[in-house]
Homo-oligomer: A and B are copies of this chain.
Amino acid sequence: MTVSRTATDGAKTQRAGRKEAEDAGIELGELSEMLGYPLKRAQLKIFEDFLRCMAPLQLTPAQFSVLLLLERNPGRNQTEIASTLGILRPNFVAMLDGLEARELCSRVRSANDRRSHHLVLTDKGRAALARAKKLVAAKHEARLNELLGPANRAALVAMLTKIADEF
What CA separation (Å) do A19 and B86 show in the bound complex? 8
- List A residues 117-167 near B (Cβ within 8 Å): 133, 136, 141, 143-144, 147-148, 152-153, 155-157, 159-167
A49 (CB) vs chain B CBs: closest residue: B167
Chain A, interface size: which category? 35 or more
Partner of A30, one of B3, B133, B148: B133
Among A39-47, A98-106, A107-115, the stretch in contact with B: A39-47
- SS class of chain A's interface: helix, strand, loop or mixed? helix
Residue A97 CB within 8 A of the other chain? no
Nearest residue in B to A32 (C-beta to C-beta)? B161
Q: Which of B28, B69, B76 contacts A29 (CB 8 A)?
A: B69
Q: How far is the CA of A157 from the CA of B33 in the complex (A)?
A: 7
A56 at the interface (CB under 8 A from B): no
One of B64, B143, B160 near A38 (C-beta < 8 A): B160
Q: How far, in angstroms, from A84 to B41 measured CA to CA in the complex?
A: 12
Q: With both chains docked as a complex, state the minimum distance between the C-beta of A14 and any C-beta of chain B, in angstroms.
A: 7
Q: Which 4 A-B pairs have the closest CB atoms?
A: A1-B61, A16-B86, A41-B164, A38-B160
9 contacts between A and B (CB under 8 A): A14-B83, A17-B164, A23-B84, A34-B157, A35-B141, A35-B157, A36-B43, A39-B42, A147-B162
